[in-house]
Amino acid sequence: MRAFGLLLCTLPLIAACSPGGESSIIVRDRTAPIANSAFLVEDGRFAAVGSAGAVDAPAGAARVDLSGKTVMPAIVDGHVHLGYADVAAMTDTPANYSRDNIVEHLERLAYHGVAAALSMGLDREEASGLREETIPGAALFRMAGAGIAMPDAGPGAADRRDVPYGVTTEAEARAAVQELAAAGVDIVKVWVDDRNGTVEKLTPPLYRAAIDEAHAQGLRVAAHIYYLEDATELLRAGVDGFAHGVRDLPVDRELLGLLAERPDVFLMPNLPDSGYLTERDLDFRAETLPESAVERMREQLAARTGPIPGRSYRLQSNNLLRMQATGIPIVLGTDGDGAGWDAHEEMADMVAAGMTPAEVIVAATSAAAAVVGLDGSGSVAEGYSADFIVLDANPLENIYNTRRIDSVYLRGSEVDRAALPARWAE
């Protein structure tokens, strides 16, 4: 990309193809991509989007040549858990949890083209206040706060089961929701899972009370689920979305019938890996990892034997497609730890499951922005926040092209992708 001027926040940016150059393409939403396109960014928003001849640049506008590039909206991840992972050291523990570490994760997300992420519970005190901040060069932080489960249950990792509200009565469930509402959460998260018989599952009376109270407070509820029977009962209780797919059985007519009546319920399929990590995945991760970490991942990869872990993936893929066919919104949610590459790996898994690249890009942008509660984000459209990724190749042709990132712009400003990995390597 040749930049003809510096982009300053107060200065409009015109991004257009150069005369005689290759056409640039804008991929957005469900509408057809715009070929030979141009757009104008002013005050962090798209002021005009259209074909190259139809967008005028005001005097003094900085121009960025996007010849031959593809522009897609920045990604929104509807399911993350930030603050726990030391990405470079490859550890994942509450000992790592700090405000600085969450900010680093938000920067790692930005590097990978993620504009905003919804933390699905497990947020500790150190995270408070981050939701209200806009940190330059970092993704926006949205959150479910602590979340709700039975006492000493909830997340898979036992070392963070102290974080959720542990409730045993309907009154406690309602009180927890009221506290979450007062803390300004974007959504209420409930865990309905016995972790293979090792913890107590949140009971229907308890999650019914939580859902009822959340709705009274104007909040939606997202459920961590595993079993089909819980998904069905949660739908009857009025749950607003699923932070995982159904993982024990093929979905049945009953569930699909309930979904058909509730076309607003969202599904974050959060698929298991479609196969082992590949060299291609490792190369992408290596962009933001120290050499020592890449070496360790390479060794782990080489040590793997046996068939690829496909059975659970196939079950969940089939369930995803059947639930998608009811018309509900499918939304990207990685359950990621802040490393940032997860969104791209999940998008590839969703295409491997049978979704089209266009459907997956909608799931990862406008549909996710709607669930996270970001109005005016998730599309390259007039008036929207200028959050976009400039790609060297078109992801509609191959979803792996979302990884061929030339540059990332959040709120109209370019993320300094050259400087970030150097900082993380220190």
In the bound state with Zn ion, the residue whose beta carbon lies nearer, of 12 and 121, is 121
Spell out the alpha helix ranges (H) of 115-252: 170-182, 204-216, 228-236
In the bound state with Zn ion, the residue whose beta carbon lies nearer, of 120 and 390, is 120
Closest separation in Å from C-beta 338 to Zn ion: 12
Among 186, 335, 345, 349, binds Zn ion (CB under 5 A): 335
Closest separation in Å from C-beta 249 to Zn ion: 21
The piece of 9-17, 187-195, 293-301, 332-340 that touches Zn ion (CB under 5 A) is 332-340
Closest separation in Å from C-beta 80 to Zn ion: 8
In the bound state with Zn ion, the residue whose beta carbon lies nearer, of 281 and 337, is 337
Write a three-state SS string for 252-297: CHHHHHHHHHCCCCEECCCCCCCCCCCHHHHHHHHCCCCHHHHHHH
Rounded Cα distance between 380 and 385, Å, is: 8
346 binds Zn ion (CB under 5 A): no
Rounded Cα distance between 333 and 78, Å, is: 5
Instruction: Compute and round to an integer the Cα radius of gyration of the chain.
Output: 21
Query: Contact, 252 vs 330, CB < 8 A?
Result: no
In the bound state with Zn ion, the residue whose beta carbon lies nearer, of 240 and 387, is 240
> What b/e sequence results for 83-120 when a residue is b if at least 16 CB atoms lie within 10 Å of its CB, and e otherwise?
bbbebbeeebeeebbeeebbbbbbbbbbbbbbbbbbbb
Coil/strand/helix, residue 385: strand
Closest separation in Å from C-beta 25 to Zn ion: 34
In the bound state with Zn ion, the residue whose beta carbon lies nearer, of 225 and 408, is 225
Rounded Cα distance between 150 and 200, Å, is: 6
In the bound state with Zn ion, the residue whose beta carbon lies nearer, of 120 and 265, is 120
- How many residues belong to the chain? 426
Rounded Cα distance between 195 and 70, Å, is: 42
Closest separation in Å from C-beta 181 to Zn ion: 21
Q: How many positions of this chain bind Zn ion (CB under 5 A)? A: 2
> Cβ-closest residue to Zn ion?
335
Contacts with Zn ion, 364-403, as mask; x by CB under 5 A: ----------------------------------------
Cβ atoms < 10 Å from Cβ of 72: 25
Query: Contact, 202 vs 153, CB < 8 A?
Result: yes
Count Cα atoms within 13 angstroms, Cβ side, for 352: 19
The piece of 84-92, 137-145, 328-336, 382-390 that touches Zn ion (CB under 5 A) is 328-336
Closest separation in Å from C-beta 187 to Zn ion: 12
Closest separation in Å from C-beta 224 to Zn ion: 6
Closest separation in Å from C-beta 120 to Zn ion: 5
The piece of 119-127, 199-207, 354-362, 374-382 that touches Zn ion (CB under 5 A) is 119-127
The piece of 16-24, 91-99, 329-337, 343-351 that touches Zn ion (CB under 5 A) is 329-337
Cα angle for residues 283, 288, 292 (degrees, 5° grid): 80
Closest separation in Å from C-beta 81 to Zn ion: 6
Closest separation in Å from C-beta 250 to Zn ion: 23
**What type of residue sits at position 33?**
P
In the bound state with Zn ion, the residue whose beta carbon lies nearer, of 42 and 186, is 186
The piece of 118-126, 145-153, 357-365, 390-398 that touches Zn ion (CB under 5 A) is 118-126
In the bound state with Zn ion, the residue whose beta carbon lies nearer, of 120 and 372, is 120
Q: 287, exposed or middle or buried, with CB in 10 Å at 0-12, 13-18, 19+?
A: middle
Rounded Cα distance between 403 and 408, Å, is: 11
Residues found near Zn ion in the complex (CB under 5 A): 120, 335
